Amino acid sequence: MKLKTNFEKGLRTMQSPSSRTVKSLIIIAFVLIGNQLSLQAQDASPVKAAQYTKPTWWVGIAAGGNFNFYRGTTQELNSDLTVPTAFNRGGGLGLYLAPLVEFRRPDSRLGVMLQAGYDGRNGEFENVRTPCNCRSDLSTNLHYITVEPSLRFAPFKSNFYLFAGPRFAFNVAKSFTYKQTSSLDFAPEAPNPEIKGDLSKVYPAIISMQIGAGYDIPLSSENKQRQTVLSPFVSFQPYIGQSPRSIETWTVTTLRIGAALKFGRGKLISSTAAIAVVDPLTSFSVTSPKNVPVERRVRETFPLRNYIFFNKGSTEIPDRYVLITKDQVKDFKEDQLEVFAPKKLSGRSSREMIVYYNVLNILGDRMGKEPSSTITLVGSSEKGPEDGKAMAESVRNYLTSVFGIAASRISIEGRNKPKIPSEQPGGTQELDLLREGDRRVSIESNAPSLLMEFQSGPGAPLKPVEITAVQEAPLDSYVTFNTAGSKEAFTSWSVETRNENGEVQYFGPYTREKVSVPGKSILGTRPEGDYKVTMIGKTKSGKTVKQETSVHMVLWTPPKDEEGMRFSVLFEFNKSKAISMYEKYLTDIVTPKIPKDGTVIIHGHTDTIGEEVHNQKLSLARANEVQEIIEKALSKAGRSDVTFVVLGFGEDQNATPFENNFPEERFYNRTVVIDIIPHK
């Protein structure tokens, strides 16, 4: 069978520099590796105990396989050969080999990479049927010299990294082999000869892009100056920009899988004479108040959120709430709640949680004293409105059977989600904890006798409960250990304190960068003392780092007639703006109670949901917002005599008012606490 094109004019043998290129790159690679091994051999006897930083510059070689996927159409192979049927889909495996250079600082997430070398984009197109019912095959050999600069990003400051950047490819080979069998409809004939040649109208250079990921596996100890890593990697190069020819619609998508061998040189950071290795990336300091109160009587106005949280899968009131009998109602008093303590207390601030876990009894007592008051119980359940109604019905049954509240004064509703949900649209992290907080019954009322001052409407919180008690080790008395950079440098760290008598105490281990400890825990009953405080850190490589500082601590007991006041402001999840009704409360209730020349200590907190760094900033933003509201109210009253101390403790477990085991504890930890201290 004769083809319509002139095959004879199209026959040419492949004249490609690809084989010479591969040989040259292989020689370069072996020379590079040989030089590095020679240099490592010269460092075979380093000074004992010497330590080095991770290298900033790395050189090496990368090798891998290109899995090429061809799509589109090609039929005109060159000006002398147009085949009967177009080739559309094909694939092939090509060699990738390239020297590399890489720059990244050891303490940074960002870096840059450059690879330049040989890039094979072979393709095979098989079993394509022609009009004569013949089978045709096409093999293409597109080879390039590629230059690939990339931005390197290590999101966790670990050995895992991502990279992305452009690809500049220069064509060095474009040969093809075409073969067609005899027609299957006739008797077998002599096989047709293979036709070899070069593809025409191939772009001499193309620009595309790539994205990928890799992981550095150390092959040498960090105690050596010369360091080696093996980095398996995978990269994806989409078809965009990868049309090899200026005609037809041929494109190629490539998946590259390979590994890079990298060599670098670290800088000396310690010597054999060092007894304790101090990591230069960490700093240690101790903040100790000059006057550390042992105790202070506090008249606290404790906020009362109008929520009852239910356990997953149950519509019964959880047993952590205080449920009394009908005979106990006559003895119930808001200012004597310690008599009615819950069976299970997980919070460190048990006094405040006793208040909250009596919320149903407080509500029933108030409704009994105000016969005209009515409420609506809104149950919210992930199972649907009917399940929410069942939860609300449990609360109504308790109020009617124990406190004798008429059922007609209590209406119920059911919803899928609360009106102010914790789980936000598009959220993906810690959803289980957020959904626990959304499974609740909300108490709504328009009765002023039940609600916070100056508030009304279904979203208003219940009236706060006032408590007078002795508070031990308030937050302004804590000694704070600061270890900037320890989260990256250490797996954990602890603190050793030694007084002038040689008595030693240990605190920790810790993983956070800032930890607060009550001053009384260190001083005990001593009025004051000089301490040497040593931070002991364990690095990720198992080494011990010690840093020491000196601090003078004073334990001061205030006069017995000193009495402070405490108020709290609650926030919604992940919000730095106070619940709107609290602005008038801060302005009209809290600010007028600040005495002349008094001190206002404002400390913000969060729950443990979310990132620690974000929560630290969020808690400080909450505290600053409360300060701004109070300062604005003071300014309108013509006052400038008040001293403010503003602190943000984030999710610090040593400072938060409550634990984080239950949703009610997490809701109350989203708070700003305001301590009002009179002038001495």
Tens digit of each residue's pLDDT (9 = 90 or more) over 415-436: 998 887 877 666 566 677 888 8
Give pLDDT tens digits for 589-600.
889 989 999 899
The pLDDT of residue 124 is: 92
Kindly state the tokens that stand for 128: 């394509």
Are the C-beta atoms of residues 231 and 262 closer than 8 Å to each other? yes
**Backbone φ, ψ for residue 152 (5° rounding):** -105, 135
The pLDDT, as a whole number, for residue 133 is 78
Instruction: Note the pLDDT of residue 271.
Output: 41
Pairing label, strands 563-570, 295-304? parallel
- Is residue 508 a contact partner of residue 495, using CB atoms and an 8 Å limit? yes
Residue type, 246: S
Residue 424 backbone dihedrals phi, psi, to 5 degrees: -95, 150
Residue written as tokens 């619609």? 249
Q: Where in the chain is the domain with CATH 3.30.1330.60?
A: 306-460, 562-680
> In terms of Cα–Cα distance, which of 667, 598, 600, 594 is closest to 627?
600
Element (H, E) at 455: none
* Cα–Cα dist 388/412, whole Å: 9
What is the length of the chain?
A: 680
Is the model more confident about 5 or about 668? 668
Torsion of CA 664, 666, 667, 672, to 10 degrees: 130
Pairwise CA distance, residues 42 & 59, whole Å: 18
User: Are residues 111 and 162 in contact, defined by beta-carbon separation less than 8 angstroms?
Assistant: no
298 token code pair: 């506090």
More reliable by pLDDT, 57 or 468? 57
What whole-number distance in Å separates Cα of residue 664 and Cα of residue 321?
Answer: 11
As separate numbers, helices (DSSP H) first and strands (DSSP E) second, the chain gives 11, 32
Candidate from 256-260, 294-298, 364-368, 533-537 with smallest mean pLDDT = 294-298
CB 83 within 8 A of CB 75: yes
67 band by pLDDT with thresholds 50, 70 and 90: very high
Read off the pLDDT band of 401 (50, 70, 90).
very high
pTM assigned to the model? 0.45
Q: How far is CA 417 from the centre of its chain?
A: 26
For 353-378, give the DSSP string. Answer: HHHHHTHHHHHHHHHHH-TT--EEEE
C-beta of residue 282 within 8 angstroms of C-beta of residue 109: no
581 vs 458: CA distance, rounded Å: 12
What CA–CA distance (Å, rounded) separates 656 from 668?
9
Mean of pLDDT values over 257-276: 71
Tokens of 362: 């407080």
CA separation for the pair 234, 212 (Å, rounded):
6
Weakest-pLDDT range from 36-50, 281-295, 312-326: 36-50
Number of Cβ within 10 Å of residue 122's Cβ equals 19
d(CA 99, CA 90): 29
Single-letter code of the amino acid located at 492: S
**What is the structure's pLDDT at 347?**
41
| Amino acid identity for residue 642 in this structure | V
Sorting pLDDT into bands at 50, 70 and 90, what band is 558? low
Q: What token pair was written down for 172? A: 């060095």
462: pLDDT strictly greater than 50? yes
Percentage, residues of the chain above pLDDT 90: 30
* More confident position, 28 or 341: 341
Question: How many angstroms separate the CA atoms of 555 and 524, rounded?
Answer: 9
Percent of the chain with pLDDT over 70: 78
Which has more pLDDT, 529 or 376? 376
Q: What is the pLDDT of residues 146-189, one digit of tens each?
A: 999 999 999 888 889 999 999 999 999 999 999 887 665 555 55
* Residue 143, C-beta contacts closer than 8 angstroms, at least 6 positions apart: 16, 18, 21, 94, 118, 119, 120, 121, 171, 172, 173, 174
Res 63: pLDDT = 96
Residue 276's pLDDT is 42
Summary mean pLDDT of the chain: 80
The CATH code of the domain at 283-293+472-556 is 2.60.40.10
Q: Virtual CA dihedral for 511, 514, 519, 521, nearest 10 degrees?
A: -10
Tell which wins on pLDDT, 338 or 35. Answer: 338
Phi and psi torsions of 448, nearest 5°: -60, -30
Q: What is the model's pLDDT at position 262?
A: 94
Question: Is 516 a residue whose pLDDT tops 90?
Answer: no
Nearest-angstrom CA–CA distance, 244 and 644 = 69
In sequence order, the 6+-apart residues with CB closer than 8 A to the CB of 114 are: 100, 101, 102, 147, 148, 149, 150
Burial 560-592 (b: 16+ CB within 10 A, else e): eeeebbbbbbbbebbebebbebbbebbbebbbe
| Amino acid (one-letter) located at 442 | S
**Predicted pLDDT at 272:** 37
| Residue 71: per-residue pLDDT | 92
pLDDT of 349 > 70? The answer is no
Angle between helices 359-369 and 385-402 (to 10 degrees): 60
- Architecture in CATH for domain 306-460: 2-Layer Sandwich (3.30)
Check pLDDT > 90 for residue 61: yes
Domain at 562-680, CATH class: alpha beta
Between 350 and 136, where is the model more confident?
136
Residue 346 has pLDDT above 60, yes or no: no
Contact 676, 593 (CB under 8 A): yes
The pLDDT assigned to 263 comes to: 93
Determine the residue type at 380. S
pLDDT at 472 over 80: no
Q: Enumerate the CATH 2.60.40.10 domain ranges in the chain, comma separated.
A: 283-293+472-556
Do 519 and 477 form a contact (C-beta atoms < 8 A)? yes
The dihedral sign for the CA sequence 47, 52, 58, 64: positive
Question: What is the rounded CA–CA span in Å between residue 539 and residue 238?
Answer: 42
CA–CA separation, 626 and 583 (whole Å): 8
Res 315: pLDDT? 94
- Per-residue pLDDT, 150: 95
Task: Tell me the pLDDT tens digit for each residue of 297-341.
Answer: 667 778 888 899 999 899 999 988 989 899 888 888 876 666 565
